[in-house]
Amino acid sequence: MTEDSIKEPTPMDPELRGYLDTLDANAPNLDGATNAERVRMGRAVMMMALEGRGAIPGLPNGVEVLDLTMAQALKARLYTPPDAKPPSPVLTYLHGGGWVIGSVETHDPFCRLLCAAAGVLILSVEYRLAPEHPYPAALEDTLAAYSWAAEHAPSFGGDARRLALGGDSAGANLAAVAANRICAQGEVERPAAVMLLYPVVDHPSAGHASYRERGTGCGLDASRMEWFWDLYAAGVSPENPEISPLRIDVLPALPPLLVATAEYDPLRDEGVKYAKGLHAAGNAVTHMHARDMHHNFPVHPSTVMRFPQSVNALKEFAAWLKRV
């Protein structure tokens, strides 16, 4: 990815613009709503996006799905690709949703698609959500799930030597923080790869320009992102690299990383800066930047296979996983 390709955005896809305008027009009025009411509504809206998911074009047949319980009653969903030949590589995946909404269920279509396209086992983790369980609960669950996968991979056809860690948005934040800790401490098998899709890697107080430039009308409003942060990490210093990995003093040596960013996303600038910082620290980084798309474009069930850009992004994610 060249500097010019990031600096010169392409106008937003017209069909996408229409889609986002429809979302804005149909958004519920939350004026005067309590935090609890906002959380309930946000979770309900995420689940509504799954209606009609059977009509998603290209949703693969033959992916085996198993709901399971790991240590400490932590839930997960295991996806096994068609014609899997054990031992197969394993991706421990953390869903997005601002640490507040989203679930294994809302990310089920994307995990099915990526599982089949990449030929990897995917362990999608049902980590605890804020505000009921604020930081560090979700991070603790991420570390527990990855450690469980490393220990138990052979029991479900996985290869403990080929473990990847990944996620989208807030889930990518958890994956980034967990990878930094695992690789720095060396107490568990280090991941073979880390996949970060439009990651949250810095606190809004940093004042990145994309919060102003892309803060409204792009699917994820800056005000919504700030609200997520307040529910997840109120009272935690923004300088803490276990919530803001962009602020880590010294990056550990990491495995190959994929960082995906989107032009029409308030998280654009922090993701771009993180990819540059990873590269400057000597890590092997593949940076994919979608110049005409929005936050969540390749993963959300309403857009995962709706736009050519989403389909192409899925293919690139899968090809990268196969390579590394």
What pLDDT, on a 0 to 100 scale, did the predictor assign at position 129?
98
Q: What is the pairing mode between strands 75-80 and 64-69?
A: antiparallel
For 273, other C-beta atoms within 10 Å of its C-beta total: 16
pLDDT at 57 over 90: no
Buried b (16+ CB within 10 A) or exposed e, 200-226: bbbbbeeebebbebbbeebbbbbebbb
Distance CA(198)–CA(259), nearest Å, equals 7
Domains and CATH numbers, the chain: 3-23+57-323 (3.40.50.1820)
pLDDT at 24 (0 to 100): 83
Contact 273, 246 (CB under 8 A): yes
Looking at every residue in the chain, the average pLDDT score rounds to 94
User: What are the pLDDT digits (tens) for 18-34?
Assistant: 999 988 888 778 888 99
Q: How far apart are CA 251 and CA 142, in angstroms?
A: 19
What span, in angstroms and rounded, lies between the C-alpha atoms of 37 and 241?
30
Residue 4: pLDDT above 80? no
Question: What angle do the packed helices 170-185 and 137-152 form, to 10 degrees?
Answer: 60
| Per-residue pLDDT band at 133 (split at 50, 70, 90) | very high
Reply yes or no on whether the pLDDT at 5 is more than 50.
no
208-215: average pLDDT: 97
Return d(Cα 16, Cα 7) in angstroms, integer.
21
Q: How far apart are CA 67 and CA 26, in angstroms?
A: 33
Give residue 26's pLDDT: 80
Q: Residue 87: pLDDT above 80? A: yes
Between 52 and 270, the higher pLDDT residue = 270
Q: Which residues are catalytic?
A: 169, 265, 295
> Is the pTM value of this prediction over 0.75?
yes
Classify residue 307 by its DSSP letter: S
The confidence score (pLDDT) of residue 227 equals 96
What is the side-by-side order of every strand in the sheet holding 121-126?
A: 64-69, 75-80, 121-126, 88-94, 158-168, 193-197, 257-264, 285-294
